[in-house]
């Protein structure tokens, strides 16, 4: 698979302490637009503690810290968060509603729609289930062979696409708007499992959940989408 990347926020280099590219001083149209606006408009989905936006509009979390470091290193204005549903981020980038997205799984289909930065973390998909894993679920392939199982996924997510690719029918999917809603569907017995990245829900046992990593799922790389 060939993934297009654009050296705008070279976040991977920021994380390991290397110098950011000299491109920050060039006449790149996106950089020029951000400087003119005096802010970098960033689409953010709710994924605490990695991404959180408070009622007063303040963004916090690991992803925010990484983006802030990259923006500062390139001499660019501060991040201006735009709380955006996950399934609206790629269409919003295509419509130039914001400058980039905070964190999206990089897929071949998405790379045909927008550009991406270098990835800044990787994960595998996982199933969040009730404690003790009462349905003995291990991954997407098994789900496809168990027609009675309902799976919650965030609408428009890479997990939704992967579930359909593995053979789950649309009527077996419970579509939710965000991570918190996905967890609630399992806790409330409206779905048997919630599919999302393995690190997405921190301390799941404290929330009444257990995580089962799908060892057969391909690694997922996460980066920022760019308009």
The fraction of the chain above a pLDDT of 90, given in percent, is: 75
Are 106 and 146 found together in one domain? no
Give the chain's mean pLDDT: 88
Point out the domain boundary residue: 106, 122, 138: 122
3-state SS of 94-112? HCCCCCEECCEECCHHHHC
Whether 74 shows a pLDDT value over 90: the answer reads no
Indicate whether 225 belongs to any domain: no
What is the structure's pLDDT at 106?
94
Domain that holds residue 158: 124-218
DSSP secondary structure of 141-205? HHHHT-TT--EEEETT-HHHHHHHHTT--GGGEEEESSHHHHHHHHHTTS-SEEEEETTSSSSGG
**Are residue 114 and residue 132 in the same domain, yes or no?**
no
> Is 20 a residue whose pLDDT tops 50?
no
Query: Tens digit of pLDDT for each residue in 124-136?
Result: 999 999 999 999 9
Examine the fold and report which residue of 69, 99, 122 is the final residue of a domain before the chain moves on. Answer: 122
- Is residue 98 located within the same domain as residue 118? yes
pLDDT tens string 195-213: 999 999 999 999 999 999 9
Determine the pLDDT at residue 58.
Answer: 92
* Judgement on whether residues 15 and 118 belong to the same structural domain of the protein: yes
134 in the same domain as 114:
no
Instruction: State both tokens at 14.
Output: 């920021």
Asked if 81 and 149 sit in the same domain, the reply is no
CATH code of the domain covering residue 95: 3.40.190.10
**Are 99 and 172 in the same domain?**
no
Q: Compute the C-alpha angle 198/200/201, nearest 5°.
A: 100
pLDDT-based confidence at residue 30 (cuts at 50, 70, 90): confident
Whether 12 shows a pLDDT value over 80: the answer reads no
Question: Does 118 lie in the same domain as 18?
Answer: yes
Cis amide linkage into residue 66, ω under 30° from 0: no
Domain end residue (candidates: 122, 148, 175):
122
Q: Which two tokens stand for residue 179?
A: 């991570």
Q: What pLDDT score was predicted for residue 210?
A: 98
Cα angle value 207/211/215 (rounded, 5°): 165
Q: How many domains would you assign to the chain? A: 2
The total number of residues shown for the chain amounts to 227
User: What would the mean pLDDT of 38-45 be, rounded to a whole number?
Assistant: 95
Asked whether residue 116 carries a pLDDT value surpassing 70, the answer given is: yes
Tens digits of residue pLDDT in 100-115 = 999 999 999 999 999 9
Residues 203 and 167 in one domain: yes
Asked if residue 5 belongs to a domain, the reply is no
Say how far apart CA 103 and CA 88 lie, in whole Å.
13
- For the segment 118-123, the average pLDDT, to the nearest whole number, is 89
| pLDDT for res 27 | 57
110 lies in some domain: yes
Q: Is residue 24 part of a domain?
A: yes
* 112 vs 11, more confident: 112
> Which tens digit of pLDDT belongs to each residue from 139-181?
999 999 999 999 999 999 999 999 999 999 999 999 999 999 9
- Domain membership flag for residue 118: yes
């Amino acid at each position: 698979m060939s993934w297009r990347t654009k050296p705008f926020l070279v976040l991977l280099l920021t994380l390991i302490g290397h110098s950011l590219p000299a491109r920050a001083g060039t006449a790149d149209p996106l950089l020029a637009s951000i400087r003119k606006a005096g802010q970098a408009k960033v689409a953010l989905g709710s994924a605490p503690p990695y991404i959180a936006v408070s009622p007063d509009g303040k963004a916090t979390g690991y992803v925010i810290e990484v983006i802030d470091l990259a923006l500062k290193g390139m001499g660019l204005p501060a991040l201006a968060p735009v709380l955006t549903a996950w399934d609206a981020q790629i269409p919003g980038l295509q419509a130039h509603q914001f400058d980039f997205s905070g964190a999206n799984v990089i897929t071949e289909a998405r790379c045909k729609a927008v550009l991406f930065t270098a990835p800044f973390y990787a994960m595998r998909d996982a199933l969040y289930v009730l404690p003790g894993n009462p349905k003995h679920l291990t991954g997407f392939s098994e789900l496809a062979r168990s027609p009675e199982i309902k799976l919650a996924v965030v609408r428009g997510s890479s997990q939704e696409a992967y579930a359909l690719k593995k053979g789950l029918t649309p009527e077996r999917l419970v579509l939710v708007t965000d991570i918190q809603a996905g967890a609630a569907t399992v806790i409330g017995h409206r779905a048997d499992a919630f599919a999302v990245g393995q690190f997405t829900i921190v301390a799941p046992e404290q929330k009444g959940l257990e995580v089962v990593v799908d060892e057969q799922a391909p690694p997922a790389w996460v980066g920022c989408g760019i308009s």
